[in-house]
Chains A and B, each alone.
Chain A
Amino acid sequence: MASRIIAVNRDTHPGIFPIVYGMWLTLRNMFETLFVKGRSATIEYPEKKRNISGRYRGIHLLTAREDGTPKCVACYMCATVCPAECIYIESGERPEKKIEKYPTRFEIDLLRCVYCGFCVDACPEEAILMSRENDLVGTSRAELIMDRDQLMNRGKLAEVGRGYHPTDHDVRRPVRIAALERLKSEHGIVPGMPKRS
């Protein structure tokens, strides 16, 4: 494609007009901000919050099964992929044979975390998600190491909303589509997350 090298024009004849223009611009912006609705660039934090996107990578949360137990099966994928090594897991035995395993300890050091979202990408169970919450306040370091129950019972989630989460995007492979269509026609099943008893 056509690309040229162009010399910048230095011959600009400087004068005082830009100074006057600057004053006018400032005044105009001031009045517009005061009187034109939606023109203001600032918000009245903390009464109002920013409109954060649904992909925002805020503080994590652990999802639960219908019976309230963690969906997490302690596979350590998140702890493996975490570049900041901020996830600590200990696993134990669950009585259900179809699930077998669950985290007896699951801790995230939110001060160490870099909020890259790789744990969400790596999770094979949709057990870890991120919320839109981003005001992280504590009085000690220990307070900001969240344990399993804190991560599961994030009261603020309803208020702040879900952030970064896995999406069911459209790169399904043709062979896979054929298999699923067969399943639908033969069994009338539309699979999503595998059902474990």
Chain B
Amino acid sequence: MPKCTIDGKEIEVAPGTSVIQAAEQAGVRVPRFCYHDDLPVDGNCRMCMVEIEKFPKLQIACGTTVSEGMVVRTQVTSEKAKVAQRDTLEFLLVNHPIDCPVCDQAGECYLQDQYMENGLHDSRTVLEDKIQKRKVVDLGPIMLDAERCVVCSRCIRYEREVTKTNLLEFVNRGGSTQISTYNGGPITHEYAGNLADVCPVGALLSSDFRFKMRVWFLKETDSVCPGCSTGCNITIDHRDCEAYRFRPRRNVEVNKSWLCDPGRRLYQTIAADRVTTPHRKGGAVAAPSVLLDEVVAKLRAAGQSSAFLASPRASNEDAFTFKKLAEGLGGRLDFRVGNPQDKVKVRKDQILQREDRHANTQGLLDLGLGVTGVETLLNDCKAGKVEALFLQDGAMLEDPGVLDAAQHVAYVVALATHQGPHLAAAHAVIPAAMWAETDGTFTNYDQRVQRFKRAFDAPGDAKPGWEVALDLLARLGKPMNAATAGDVFVLIAAETKAYADLTHRSLGSLGRAVGDPAKTPATA
């Protein structure tokens, strides 16, 4: 383990660590454009210049590996490094357009941030001298503005190394260098959104997010993508109870810095067509407590001939309380509609997505919800052996098999997030919060338990599934000792061997893998 000194602070780093990473560990962020944690080092932007003792000239921090006894002085302590970085920045700005007012990157732009940190120089160029390049080039999910580009090649390396599609390349030379797709064609793969994220400036921007909101208004909440069993770590950017976009949150074990486009688009589902009030069949609105009392009465009457169908989209907290509810009534319980169980680990592509489009199949398996098999349960419904059916997710009624079974049951209760004609089959609909509106955990394909946090409140009377289940249990006279999702998780940990000793807090921001790591390797 080589030891080095960065700005007078001595630290020990893993062999092979670059100076830029070592500085970050020492708490110094060296400015950069082309360096990206999850892309190969290119060293073309020359922004990360630092002074290293015994080297005659300044070195780029990203391309220099720490060796034993190295003494590094970054812009914090070295005037030389500071001046070099300032000059590099000035060069990068020579042809930069006066675009901040119309550029969506403003607010998360490396140029702005690094100018404010240690640029603060006066401009020596004038507008009339700037080279004009292509602007507002529509590349499908991405908008290209070549004038704003700092030619760092992050996007090109991303295309080459991550998606292996090689759609972007530099054209022209010198000051006129710009990025382009072949013949200006669109970006066609499902990982285009990451291009806007890797671009340190406003050259590549998301078409979807374009002009929707200024980023400095947005609040960030750590979350997990519910799109498939991979469980990519995301940040929800939201303002006034509205989600504006998802961004990948770096987790080397799961998704590195990437997120697929279908996952990104899931923010749109939060605001659309939500169920906000409890209602009965035909749409008659009922007061929440009246309807819940009614549901409890029906379920109690059905007793052992009640059935509970859990959803693999539910969080561990939702599923656990749902299980307790089923156990409290003695009813049957199972989950999964559609995907066979073994899909959970099957890749859909070679990057992130998996065949199982549910976030928490593994979690429900860990909690012991898949016992009898869902087919038996549905067949019992059709055979008239079930008097009351409780669906944890109303969307399950979109499945013809479930709908058919539900039509044979006298009383169907559904927790539902979104409206739709399928809900007409339910006798009671209880509005439910989505994952972004509550705290909780998902367990991904790799048995990694990951935490998501509440970003904002659910609309109307919608409540998180665990809260509804706790309410029903209390009405049944079997209250659980829990008031928050964290409390529920403590109960889960006490009962589930794999999750023993875990708490929401101990999961941290990156989650904890509880399975055997040898059996399930991390993503490529």
Residues of chain A touching chain B, judged by Cβ–Cβ distance below 8 Å, are 73-77, 80, 91-93, 97-101, 124-125, 173-176, 178-180, 182-183, 187, 189, 191, 194
- Residues B124 and A175 in contact, CB atoms below 8 Å apart: yes
Q: A77-B101, A93-B211, A99-B102 are in contact. Are A191 and B135 (CB under 8 A)?
A: no
| CB-contact partner of A97 in B123, B135, B217, under 8 A | B135
**Inter-chain contacts of A180 with B (CB < 8 A):** 126
Taken together as a complex, chains A and B put the C-alpha atoms of A179 and B101 apart, in Å, by 23
**Total B residues in contact with A, Cβ cutoff 8 Å:** 20
**Inter-chain contacts of B98 with A (CB < 8 A):** 194
- Residues B127 and A91 in contact, CB atoms below 8 Å apart: no
**Inter-chain contacts of A174 with B (CB < 8 A):** 122
Please tell me if B136 contacts chain A, counting CB pairs below 8 Å: yes
| CB-contact partner of A191 in B106, B126, B214, B217, under 8 A | B126
| CB-contact partner of B127 in A99, A125, A194, under 8 A | A194
- Residues B122 and A176 in contact, CB atoms below 8 Å apart: yes
- Residues A178 and B124 in contact, CB atoms below 8 Å apart: yes
Instruction: Return the 7 tightest CB-CB contacts between A and B, nearest first.
Output: A75-B101, A175-B122, A101-B102, A91-B211, A76-B214, A100-B102, A183-B126
**Inter-chain contacts of A125 with B (CB < 8 A):** 101
Taken together as a complex, chains A and B put the C-alpha atoms of A8 and B127 apart, in Å, by 64
**Inter-chain contacts of B516 with A (CB < 8 A):** none
**Inter-chain contacts of A99 with B (CB < 8 A):** 102
Name B74-109 residues within 8 Å CB distance of A. 98, 100-102, 106
- Residues A191 and B127 in contact, CB atoms below 8 Å apart: yes
Please tell me if B125 contacts chain A, counting CB pairs below 8 Å: yes
Please tell me if B342 contacts chain A, counting CB pairs below 8 Å: no
Residues of chain B touching chain A, judged by Cβ–Cβ distance below 8 Å, are 98, 100-102, 106, 122-129, 135-136, 210-211, 214, 216-217
Q: Closest A residue to B127 by CB, please name it.
A: A194
Q: How far is the CB of B445 from chain A (nearest CB, A)?
A: 40
From A73, A101, A125, A187, name the one whose CB has the most chain B CB atoms within 10 angstroms: A101
Taken together as a complex, chains A and B put the C-alpha atoms of A89 and B214 apart, in Å, by 11
Q: A124-B100, A194-B98 are in contact. Are A98 and B124 (CB under 8 A)?
A: no
Contacts A73-B101, A75-B214, A80-B214 known; 4 new A-B pairs at CB < 8 A:
A98-B135, A100-B102, A175-B123, A179-B123
**Inter-chain contacts of A178 with B (CB < 8 A):** 124
**Inter-chain contacts of A98 with B (CB < 8 A):** 135
**Inter-chain contacts of B128 with A (CB < 8 A):** 183, 187, 189, 191
**Inter-chain contacts of B214 with A (CB < 8 A):** 75-76, 80
Q: How far is the CB of A102 from chain B (nearest CB, A)?
A: 9
**Inter-chain contacts of B210 with A (CB < 8 A):** 93
Q: How far is the CB of B469 from chain A (nearest CB, A)?
A: 39
Q: How far is the CB of A189 from chain B (nearest CB, A)?
A: 5
Taken together as a complex, chains A and B put the C-alpha atoms of A101 and B102 apart, in Å, by 6
- Residues A179 and B211 in contact, CB atoms below 8 Å apart: no
| CB-contact partner of A179 in B125, B136, B216, B217, under 8 A | B125
A-B contact pairs, 20 of them (CB 8 A): A73-B101, A75-B100, A75-B106, A75-B214, A76-B217, A77-B101, A91-B211, A93-B210, A93-B211, A100-B102, A100-B135, A101-B211, A175-B123, A175-B124, A176-B122, A176-B124, A179-B124, A179-B125, A183-B129, A191-B128
- Residues B136 and A97 in contact, CB atoms below 8 Å apart: yes
Taken together as a complex, chains A and B put the C-alpha atoms of A180 and B129 apart, in Å, by 11
Taken together as a complex, chains A and B put the C-alpha atoms of A92 and B212 apart, in Å, by 8
Q: Closest B residue to A180 by CB, please name it.
A: B126
**Inter-chain contacts of A77 with B (CB < 8 A):** 101
**Inter-chain contacts of A183 with B (CB < 8 A):** 126, 128-129
Q: How far is the CB of A62 from chain B (nearest CB, A)?
A: 14
